[in-house]
Amino acid sequence: MDKFIENIKSVSLRENQDYSGQGAVLKFAQAETLIKHCQANSLWPMTFGIACCAIEMMSVGMARFDASRYGAEVFRPSPRQSDVMIVAGTVNKKMAETVVTLYEQMPEPKWVIAMGNCAISGGPFAIEENYTVIEGVDKLIPVDVYVPGCPPRPEALLEAIFKLQEKITGKRHPFPQNRHP
């Protein structure tokens, strides 16, 4: 902990004068790295299952696949406490408004995982006769990670969480990968 504080203190204004870049005038590189590291390791998903992919999402949270090994098991009942929205299922016209409202209620920074073929592109519903299914949730909200499958295996969702961590911190975290029981 002392080392962390030292690192933060060592970031001086004189050494990191970068007024040409976009964003904040003052940059605390070490602190931002630390914060991003913390964010990546405490991704709280929203309790939000629309269709059958949600069953796989539940098993990710349970003991067998155990997403708590990676800090992503705290399914929050409120969008205001969530970091990740896992869109697990078919989004239809009536549901679209709710999905967008929930996304807008989440505080920044926020990420979205589109889980399953329905959320990616409409899946089996992307046909000519389709009249109610939104073909891809990325038409409504920006999506960070896509997980293909119908439904995807729980390991695939875990991999999506790793990908998201990679996106946030810039590197894949060397977690201890316990062998599956």
Partner 1 sequence: MDTGRVIKEIEKISVKTDCIHILPGVEYECSVSAENIRDFASVLYKNNYMLLYLTAIHLEPYPAVVYQFVWPETKFRIRAVVFCGENKTVPTISDIYNGANWYEREVMEFFGIDFDGLEDKRTLILDESDKGLYPLLKKEGKALDAEATGFKTN
Rounded CA separation 110/86 (Å): 11
Here's the x/- map for partner 1, 112-151, by CB under 8 A: it reads as: -----------------x-xx-------------------
- How far apart are CB 129 and partner 1 at their closest, in Å? 8
Between 29-40 and 2-10, two packed helices, what is the crossing angle to 10 degrees? 140
Instruction: Sort strands 145-147 and 111-115 into parallel, antiparallel or unpaired.
Output: parallel
Site for partner 1 in 76-95 (CB under 8 A): 93-94
Strand order in the sheet with 111-115: 84-88, 111-115, 145-147
Biggest CA-to-CA distance, the chain: 63
Nearer to partner 1, 33 or 130 (CB): 130
- How far apart are CB 64 and partner 1 at their closest, in Å? 37
Site for partner 1 in 2-61 (CB under 8 A): none
The angle subtended at Cα 167 by Cα 77 and Cα 124, nearest 5°, is: 65
Nearer to partner 1, 108 or 128 (CB): 128
| Burial of 48 from C-beta contacts in 10 A (0-12 / 13-18 / 19+) | buried
Nearer to partner 1, 75 or 125 (CB): 125
- How many residues bind partner 1 (CB under 8 A)? The answer is 5
Nearer to partner 1, 43 or 134 (CB): 134
Nearer to partner 1, 61 or 122 (CB): 122
Q: Which residues bind partner 1 (CB under 8 A)?
A: 93-94, 129, 131-132
